């Protein structure tokens, strides 16, 4: 099975991407979320562009998808007034995003079977780091208010799996390093630290204890280029699980005057897992 992983988009999607993936041999496209820029103005334009994909595609919403700038600021500075108390506005925006993306599937606390694999989609709208973000929405829609409740919700999905598992989150799990250049390490605070999701690590450990075979953990969120310079490690392998951070931002950039489009290819068969960074220039075919 060949899977294309598109990291945080942040407005970097155009007709070339649509044509490339539609003419490719990929069996599935995973979109790690964060469609708009930081002012959240292009969410639905990018969603409608993604809806032209003819390949099976699955997206997990990031912290910038169907949320507001006010909400994100509130989550960053831990201001309950900015965060708000009701999840209804976010719920309505999520429903509108689902309609704009169709037939691309918008996941979140959900289980999807593709080929020989079960894809477990983790908590939507992760902002990374300890605790949860956007609790009013998570509470109103999913009944989730704590890390433990979130992990339990994912564990129930794991119990339903019948095939080998691919975990799919906007952000990755804790437990993969505390340095700024680690795959989900924090590069925007002096104290650095592990900025993965605690509920994701709890769910991962639960699956392993249950004897499930996990082939890959796909995510984005923590951008490859680090504040202060340098690049983070974007893929690691531990205990047979390939952890992938596809958030090369911007995913479309210029090199020698030509645009370059980034994604990650995940190839799976019964015994092997191959992870490759793919850089495409206009004129190239899949």
Place of tokens 């080929």: 115
The whole-angstrom separation of Cα 123 and Cα 118 is 16
- The pLDDT assigned to 191 comes to 81
**CA of residue 133 relative to chain centroid, distance:** 15
Give residue 240's region: left, alpha or beta (phi > 0; psi -120 to 50).
left
Domain containing residue 17: 2-280
Is 285 inside a domain boundary?
no
- The pLDDT assigned to 51 comes to 99
- pLDDT per residue as tens digits for the range 13-38: 999 999 999 999 999 999 999 999 98
Length of the chain equals 286
The whole-angstrom separation of Cα 38 and Cα 40 is 5
Q: For residue 199, give both structure tokens.
A: 């509920």
Q: What is the CATH number of the domain that holds 138?
A: 3.60.21.10
Is 116 inside a domain boundary?
yes
Is 51 inside a domain boundary?
yes
Number of structural domains (the chain) is 1
Digit-by-digit pLDDT tens for the chain (286 residues) are 999 999 999 999 999 999 999 999 999 999 999 999 989 999 999 999 999 999 999 999 999 999 999 999 999 999 999 999 999 999 999 999 999 999 999 999 999 999 999 999 999 999 999 999 999 999 999 999 999 999 999 999 999 999 999 999 999 999 999 999 999 999 998 788 999 999 999 999 999 999 999 999 999 999 999 999 999 999 999 999 999 999 999 999 999 999 999 999 999 999 999 999 999 998 777 6
What does DSSP assign to residue 225? B
From the list 265, 272, 227, the residue with the least C-alpha distance to 246 is 265
Q: Rg of the Cα trace of the chain?
A: 18
The whole-angstrom separation of Cα 68 and Cα 57 is 25
**CA of residue 183 relative to chain centroid, distance:** 13
The whole-angstrom separation of Cα 203 and Cα 60 is 17
Is 286 inside a domain boundary?
no
Is 276 inside a domain boundary?
yes
Give residue 26's region: left, alpha or beta (phi > 0; psi -120 to 50).
beta
Query: CA angle, corner 56, sides to 2 and 244, nearest 5?
Result: 45
- The pLDDT assigned to 282 comes to 81
For residues 34 and 65, the answer to whether their CB atoms sit within 8 Å is yes
Is 207 inside a domain boundary?
yes
Query: CA angle, corner 223, sides to 22 and 37, nearest 5?
Result: 70
The whole-angstrom separation of Cα 4 and Cα 168 is 13
Average pLDDT in the chain = 97
Place of tokens 């390949």: 55
- The pLDDT assigned to 283 comes to 76
Is 120 inside a domain boundary?
yes
């Amino acid at each position: 099975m060949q899977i294309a992983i598109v990291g945080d988009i942040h407005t970097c999607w155009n007709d070339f991407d649509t044509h490339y993936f539609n003419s490719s041999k990929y069996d599935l496209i995973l979109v790690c979320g964060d469609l708009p820029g930081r002012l959240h103005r292009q969410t639905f334009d990018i969603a409608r562009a993604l809806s032209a994909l003819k390949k099976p595609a699955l997206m997990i919403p990031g912290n910038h998808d169907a949320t507001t700038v006010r909400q994100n600021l509130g989550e960053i500075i831990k201001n309950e007034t900015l965060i708000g108390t009701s999840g209804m506005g976010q719920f309505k925006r999520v429903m509108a995003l689902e309609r704009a993306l169709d037939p691309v599937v918008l996941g979140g606390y959900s289980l999807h079977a593709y080929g020989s694999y079960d894809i477990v989609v983790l908590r939507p709208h992760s902002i990374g780091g300890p605790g949860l973000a956007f609790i009013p929405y998570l509470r109103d829609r999913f009944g989730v208010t704590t890390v433990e409740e979130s992990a339990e919700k994912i564990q129930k999905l794991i119990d339903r799996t019948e095939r080998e598992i691919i975990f799919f989150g906007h952000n990755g799990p804790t437990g993969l390093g505390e340095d700024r250049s680690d795959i989900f390490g924090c590069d925007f605070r002096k104290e650095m630290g592990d900025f993965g999701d605690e509920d994701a690590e709890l769910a991962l450990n639960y699956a392993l204890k249950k004897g499930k075979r996990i082939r890959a953990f796909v995510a984005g969120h923590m951008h490859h280029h680090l504040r202060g310079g340098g690049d983070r490690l974007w893929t690691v392998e531990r205990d047979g699980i390939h952890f992938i951070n596809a958030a090369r931002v911007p995913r479309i950039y210029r090199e020698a005057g030509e645009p370059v489009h980034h994604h990650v290819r995940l190839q799976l068969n019964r015994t092997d897992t191959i992870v490759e960074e793919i850089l495409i220039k206009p004129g190239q075919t899949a």
